[in-house]
């Protein structure tokens, strides 16, 4: 059964091309991916990403539970601060990557990927031996990501929160578009700056309309998942289900920076040992030298045709006008500037390893 978000009918009315994504009926594009991509890089655009999951964890031991299931050290959070992390599984892979928002010392707000809502809920519940009160508010919550260099200016008339002054990975609650208690954060998945607006479904249409009215002088447009993918890929950001999953090592995926061995968490001993041993493969960014678009699961080979890895994400970069991708390669080929070949229709097509972000 495919789910709709609160504004599915609105997107259909706007002429969006709708596709099933993570169990939801989602807008993939409106005016076209390249146009939408450019709008976010240079102006301001709005993504309806209400398919994402939201949990509230509350209680004296809420932090203890998060510390157990999260790779990062959530004790470093303060009220209004957000942290990126992943949930390790027991076999060396990743349950999901997620965000932790600290509302106060006993209240935390978790944002998880749409395709993993039930899986994450069950996983966290399994480790909740702390009596933490858990609430899944995913089905009641809408989320708009307003992204681009003009986002703060376009939205400022709608709120008393000083948007331009907000630091990266922080959030505030306040009145937004006349609605009380709206959570506004600055985490951004596009690399273009901007804000995420979390509202109750019943206020979604009012807030959406207000954003478009306030943003009209700035050329604001609705943006689909297609441009979200090209934008995040230009930054080298991982997408769960493509670049990381239940079977990928977080250390091979370059997530060592959010893996904190200063505390005990699920599978931390195994991951610590893996770090000491070193990983056999690494997730790298690459740019195509010759023509061809790399796609998920294409083989990566060396100059003599030996398989050395696989592509996890690839696209034609609208900004660079060339093809880029992410993929796992044997560690010997992970150095910046290494020559690799992508097997496209059984032909080796030359590429070069390049450390993301591809677009500065």
Residues 6+ apart with CB under 8 A from 41: 148, 149, 192, 231, 319, 359
Nearest in space to 99 (alpha carbons), one of 159, 60, 49, 59: 49
Q: Residue 267 in 3-state DSSP? A: coil
Annotated binding-site residue numbers for substrate = 196
Q: Residue 41: CA atoms inside 13 Å, Cβ hemisphere, count?
A: 19
Q: Which two tokens stand for residue 250?
A: 């977080």
Q: 70-97 as b/e, with b when 16 or more CB fall inside 10 Å?
A: bbbbbeebeebebbbbbbbbeebbbbbb
The residue with tokens 């289900």 is: 241
CA atoms of 328 and 312, how far apart (whole Å): 7
User: Which CA distances in Å does 267 have to 263, 273, 314?
Assistant: 11, 10, 31
CA atoms of 41 and 57, how far apart (whole Å): 35
Annotated binding-site residue numbers = 196
* Domain 1-238: CATH architecture, name and number where available: 2-Layer Sandwich (3.30)
* β-pairing verdict for 45-48 and 221-223: parallel
Q: Which two tokens stand for residue 301?
A: 């080979």
Do 1-238 and 239-353 agree at the fold level?
A: no
CA atoms of 187 and 198, how far apart (whole Å): 13
CA atoms of 67 and 69, how far apart (whole Å): 6
**For the chain, how many residues are written?**
360
Residue 306, classified by CB atoms within 10 Å of its CB into exposed (0-12), middle (13-18) or buried (19+), is: exposed
Residues 6+ apart with CB under 8 A from 123: 69, 87, 89, 95
pTM strictly above 0.95: yes
For the chain, domain boundaries:
1-238, 239-353
The DSSP H or E segment spanning 68 is helix 62-69
Residue 16: beta bridge partners?
A: none
Residues 6+ apart with CB under 8 A from 228: 47, 49, 189, 190
Q: What is the pLDDT along the chain (360 residues), one digit of tens a residue?
A: 899 999 999 999 999 999 999 999 999 999 999 999 999 999 999 999 999 999 999 999 999 999 999 999 999 999 999 999 999 999 999 999 999 999 999 999 999 999 999 999 999 999 999 999 999 999 999 999 999 999 999 999 999 999 999 999 999 999 999 999 999 999 999 999 999 999 999 999 999 999 999 999 999 999 999 999 999 999 999 999 999 999 999 999 999 999 999 999 999 999 999 999 999 999 999 999 999 999 999 999 999 999 999 999 999 999 999 999 999 999 999 999 999 999 999 999 999 999 999 998
Q: Which two tokens stand for residue 190?
A: 């596009």
Q: What is the DSSP string of 290-310?
A: SS----TT-EEE-TTS-EEEE
The residue with tokens 């990983």 is: 279
DSSP annotation of 321 reads: T
The residue with tokens 């004790």 is: 75
Question: Per CATH, is 239-353 categorized as 2.40.30.110?
Answer: yes
């Amino acid at each position: 059964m495919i789910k709709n978000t609160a504004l599915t009918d609105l997107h259909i009315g706007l002429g969006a091309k709708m596709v099933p994504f993570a169990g939801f009926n989602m807008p993939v594009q409106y005016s076209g991916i390249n146009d939408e991509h450019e709008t976010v890089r240079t102006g301001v655009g709005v993504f309806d990403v209400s398919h994402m999951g939201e949990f509230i964890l509350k209680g004296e031991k809420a932090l203890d539970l998060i510390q157990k299931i999260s790779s990062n050290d959530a004790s470093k959070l303060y009220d209004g601060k957000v942290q990126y992390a992943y949930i390790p599984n027991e076999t060396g892979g990743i349950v999901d990557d997620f965000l932790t928002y600290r509302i106060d010392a006993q209240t935390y707000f978790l944002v998880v990927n749409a395709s993993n809502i039930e899986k994450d809920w069950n996983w966290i519940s399994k480790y909740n031996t702390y009596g933490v009160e858990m609430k899944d508010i995913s089905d009641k919550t809408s989320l708009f990501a307003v992204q681009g260099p003009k986002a703060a200016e376009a939205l400022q008339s709608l709120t008393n929160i000083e948007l331009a002054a907000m630091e990266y990975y922080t959030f505030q609650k306040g009145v937004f578009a006349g609605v009380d208690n709206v959570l506004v954060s600055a985490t951004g998945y596009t690399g273009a700056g901007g804000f995420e607006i979390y509202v109750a479904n019943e206020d979604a249409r009012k807030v959406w309309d207000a954003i478009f009215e306030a943003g009209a002088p700035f050329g604001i447009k609705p943006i689909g998942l297609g441009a979200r993918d090209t934008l995040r890929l230009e930054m080298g950001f991982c997408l769960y289900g493509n670049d990381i999953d239940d079977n990928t090592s977080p250390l091979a995926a370059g997530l060592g920076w959010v893996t904190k061995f200063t505390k005990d968490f699920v599978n931390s001993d195994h991951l610590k040992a893996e770090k000491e041993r070193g990983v056999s493969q690494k997730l790298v960014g690459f740019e195509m030298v010759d023509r061809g678009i790399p796609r998920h699961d294409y083989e990566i080979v060396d100059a003599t045709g030996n398989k050395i890895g696989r592509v996890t994400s690839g696209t034609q970069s609208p900004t660079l006008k060339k093809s880029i991708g992410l993929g796992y390669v044997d560690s010997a080929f992970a150095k910046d500037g290494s020559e690799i070949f992508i097997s496209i229709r059984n032909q080796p097509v030359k590429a070069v390893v390049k450390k993301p972000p591809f677009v500065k």
